[in-house]
Amino acid sequence: MCKDSAMTSAHHVVVLLLPPVIGFDATIPPLVFGNARAASGEKLYRVSVCSADPGPAQCADGFAFACGAGLEALETADTVVVPGTLRRSVRRDGVLDPAARAAFERIPDAARVVSLCTGAFGLAAAGLLDGLRATTHWQAAAQFRRLYPLVQLDEAALFFDEGRVLTSAGLSAGLDLCLHVVGADAGWRVANKVARHCVTPPHRDGDQSQFISWPSPPRGAAGTTATQHWALGRLDQRLTVGQLAGHARMSPRTFARRFTEETGLSPARWLARERVRRCQELLESTDLTVDTIAQRVGFGTGATLRARLRAEAGTTPSDYRRRFTST
């Protein structure tokens, strides 16, 4: 795993396809990891794609992937990503078929293993999720529980990071998890650049529900996006729901409801998260003192910043800076 900040050599990510695969999921790892670069422009990850079956990897979506690597790529993997799958052995029988088992046996014990969507069925069939918290697409949760009772499944979560093993919920949650991995490896400054390239929000928390409703605003109705950008430019100031609602020209109650519908977070939770993200970026990219950063991101004091960073990221400013300043 990429635990040191330098990432002196490209971290090898191998995408293991278990056909028939969910095409959208299979495109996420090359897109995210393939576009993560150090400040020098050097790619931080080397991405290989292989399949448990010979020939093109068939997708449930009516097309196939021509894989550029063989299963031997798994033997040098630092991270293995298993996208969503409809493979009968793991989705209906609860076991690895011989081809899938042979693929999983090539994964080094030290490699990080990540599943996207129903790729969690493959990890569970391999015994990698026994006793761990995990998630998968909510529509597959009942079947997952029947097949893999030893896994602590929580289908309401976007993703879980259990150390060596990580799992995401359905579809776009795979983007969130891969960005989370980049952020953990290389810092949120790098992850945010990748998110901008992918035209996706830079971060959603793993414990955020995957059951968020995303209604289309009524024609002519103002959303909260402009107010979000306005607030991001004023994180150093004290911001209240009333101020945000005033900018959006809504009542506080309407604004809070609309904001939660659009972001999945309350305004207060969103502001706290964005302040931590800004704090992380400043720790990564500047030599500013903790007290100065606290003022710039709206935490006021270094003590408050330390408490928030510990709660959100499980680390201290000095440890975070030491880990990521050379990336």
Average pLDDT over the chain, rounded to an integer: 88
Angle between helices 23-33 and 188-198 (to 10 degrees): 130
Please indicate whether residue 34 or residue 221 has the higher confidence score (pLDDT): 34
Task: Give a yes or no: residue 68 inside a domain.
Answer: yes
- Domain with 23 in it: what CATH number? 3.40.50.880
Residues 116-133 have a mean pLDDT of: 98
Task: Give residue-wise pLDDT tens across range 61-104.
Answer: 889 999 999 999 999 999 999 999 999 999 999 999 999 999 99
The model's confidence at residue 205, banded by pLDDT at 50, 70 and 90, is low
Query: In the prediction, which pLDDT does 253 show?
Result: 95
Query: In the prediction, which pLDDT does 97 show?
Result: 98
Domain tally, the chain:
2
Task: Give a yes or no: residue 44 inside a domain.
Answer: yes
Q: Which residue has the tokens 């024609």?
A: 219
Residues 134, 192, single domain; the answer is yes
Residues 186, 225, single domain; the answer is no
Task: Give a yes or no: residue 114 inside a domain.
Answer: yes
Residues 277, 321, single domain; the answer is yes
Please indicate whether residue 297 or residue 214 has the higher confidence score (pLDDT): 297
pTM beyond cutoff 0.75: no
Residue 327 has pLDDT above 90, yes or no: no
- Domain with 317 in it: what CATH number? 1.10.10.60
The model's confidence at residue 174, banded by pLDDT at 50, 70 and 90, is very high
Task: Give a yes or no: residue 1 inside a domain.
Answer: no
Residues 57, 184, single domain; the answer is yes
Domain carrying residue 304: 213-327
Residues 257-279 have a mean pLDDT of: 89
Question: Which residues, in sequence order, are bridge partners of residue 47?
Answer: 13
CA distance 252 to 244: 8
